[in-house]
Structure 1
Amino acid sequence: MNPYITIMRPVNGSMAAVAVVLGALIAGVQDGAIVIAAISAFLISSAGMVANDIFDYRIDKVNKPKRPIPSGLISLRGASLYSGALFGLGVGLTALLNIYVFGLALFNALLEMFYANKLKRTPAVGNIAVSWLVGSTYVFGGLLSGSHDILHLAGPLLLGNVAFVANMARELYKTASDYKGDKRYGAITVAVVFGKERAKLAGDIFAVLAAASSLAPYFAHILGNVYISIQLISIAVYLSALFKSAEKAEKLTKIGMFIGLVAIAAELGSRLL
């Protein structure tokens, strides 16, 4: 695969784009603005992935030497220009939409750069930043409606909350599973600072919160029976993570988040029939 595509982590960007589309549809948006917003989310997410690799290239030389930058397939200068172009285009596209979408896009782009440079090495705060970026994609789509009214954005906000707490669980499980390597290389993570067991316990708490918050869109009458019938599987997956190792729990939360995305898409798709 072309290194400029590999470094973007297109799967992550695609997931962000899908979440934006779903958030927009739930907020009642049904025009071409959705496409522009989805492309913007993909580009900003991709830019953040490139920025991460730029700041991690020294560590990647040892841990992941086959990545585009440490392998020499992309120079640091080339990656910097590429990341800047992706950020610029991604944020620039939202200028065609409305001030709320533009503001969130600009904030998230700046947060991604700050995360790659500083926050990634800050325990808990870095995990919160990543989870915000994941959860805010639904709100990003909802803001296409041009409204900043909380009630109007209830659907995207509730879904964003589910994504936030689920990703927090995943982040904390990951710090617990990476404990040995992180401690060896001097990384400062929740697990290194507070211990692997406490990091796993914190992940368990957020997994329970993810399971509980997954019910909110149904009981708030925002999503219906199709959603909840599939989401119950996601809830079972989240709860099963409590009884697994940190390594397996991290994978399970990722699966749970994907099933949740499918549940939302299936519900919205059923309304078209």
Structure 2
Amino acid sequence: MFRKVKALLILTRPPNGILMFIAVLAGVTLSNKQTITPMQIILSFITAYGLNGSIMGFNDYFDRDIDRVNAPWRPIPSGAVSCFEATFFSAILGSMGIISATLTSTSCMVVAVIAYLLALIYNMILKKMGLIGNMAVSGIVVAPFIYGAILSDGYVSTRLIFFVIPVYLSVLGREIIKGISDVKGDALRGIRSIARIRGKRFAGILGGALYVAAVSVSPFPYLLNLVSWPYIVIVSLADIGFIYSAISIIKNPSRAEALKVKKMTLLWMLIALIAFITGSIT
């Protein structure tokens, strides 16, 4: 029994669920009112963890044949969890997430349903569609921030828009660059990534250009008096990192460089998030 529970827990990818919850709280911080009640915190955790766990479970179900080769230790290919158990458990988690979002507010329910459906469609169809799939992933990533802001304000503020745009662009760039490192695996899975269809150099240029586009948006929150001065100081560090990564992948669109840039980008994103939060609360 314990092994079954442990396997189901692994299926949900706990770190991802916790990160999604943190993103919701960050969205609250980026809102204008910056208010959240203890009950809303509990409901938000159930929504974030439930929907993430559901999507991760369905993802493992759809990728079960690939995981038998690439990740045989995962719950489904290892036999720790059956396909029925995985999908049933995922459906329960998804239902819990949507119900808790509905109890929070109608607006939160709408955001949760859209993000959840987009993630399901990505797992079933969009994953193999290259750029469209990359765009879907970017939308899924920004969803918890939007959820948190709407939970607090009831609407999407100008400050949040200027946060979401660079995040969306940088995640899209990262997904395209990630395709450079996954060309062989994507070929086996039939994924039409930019790197496979247009070549690694084109993917590097496009990914780098999206990083630069994200950087070009970063001064506007400060120029429009949406955040305080610490924001521009901290975000400048992220901007330098993004520009460095863009130049690196454009000059050398190799698998090794793509892997390095993909990892570094997470650090630049974290610094940018810290910049926005600091600029919003000071």
Q: TM (normalized to structure 2)?
A: 0.87
Q: Mean Cα displacement is larger for which, 91-100 or 28-37?
A: 28-37
Query: Closer, same or farther in 2 for the Cα pair 1:76/1:216, shift >3 Å?
Result: farther
CA contact (8 A) 1:138 1:159 kept: no
Q: Mean Cα displacement is larger for which, 15-24 or 59-68?
A: 15-24
Matched, 1:53 2:65: no
CA contact (8 A) 1:104 1:140 kept: yes
Counterpart of 1:217, as a letter, is P
Name the residue aligned to 1:80: 87
Q: May I ask how many residue pairs the two structures share in their alignment?
A: 267
Name the residue aligned to 2:35: 30
Alpha-carbon distance between aligned partners in 2 of 1:262 and 1:49, rounded to the nearest angstrom? 27
Counterpart of 1:252, as a letter, is M
Bigger fraction of residues in helix = 2
Counterpart of 2:273, as a letter, is L
Matched, 1:261 2:264: no
Gaps (5+ residues) in structure 1? Answer: none
Deviation at residue 184 of structure 1 after TM alignment: 4.2
Name the residue aligned to 2:219: 215
1:32-86 Cα shifts (integer Å, max 9, x gaps): 1244234312321222122111100101111111112111122111110111111
Q: Mean Cα displacement is larger for which, 52-61 or 23-32?
A: 23-32
Alpha-carbon distance between aligned partners in 1 of 2:14 and 2:163, rounded to the nearest angstrom? 22
Q: Give the one of 65, 74, 86 matched to 1:67.
A: 74
Deviation at residue 268 of structure 1 after TM alignment: 4.7
Matched, 1:246 2:258: yes
Quote the sequence identity (%).
29
Q: RMSD of the alignment, in Å? A: 2.0
Alpha-carbon distance between aligned partners in 1 of 2:16 and 2:165, rounded to the nearest angstrom? 18
Counterpart of 1:177, as a letter, is S
Alpha-carbon distance between aligned partners in 2 of 1:240 and 1:40, rounded to the nearest angstrom? 36
1:175-201 Cα shifts (integer Å, max 9, x gaps): 111112322443322211111211111
Query: Closer, same or farther in 2 for the Cα pair 1:223/1:46, shift >3 Å?
Result: farther
Deviation at residue 104 of structure 1 after TM alignment: 1.0
Counterpart of 1:172, as a letter, is I
Alpha-carbon distance between aligned partners in 2 of 1:111 and 1:185, rounded to the nearest angstrom? 21
Name the residue aligned to 2:252: none
CA contact (8 A) 1:9 1:49 kept: yes
1:165-218 Cα shifts (integer Å, max 9, x gaps): 111011011011111232244332221111121111111011112222233322
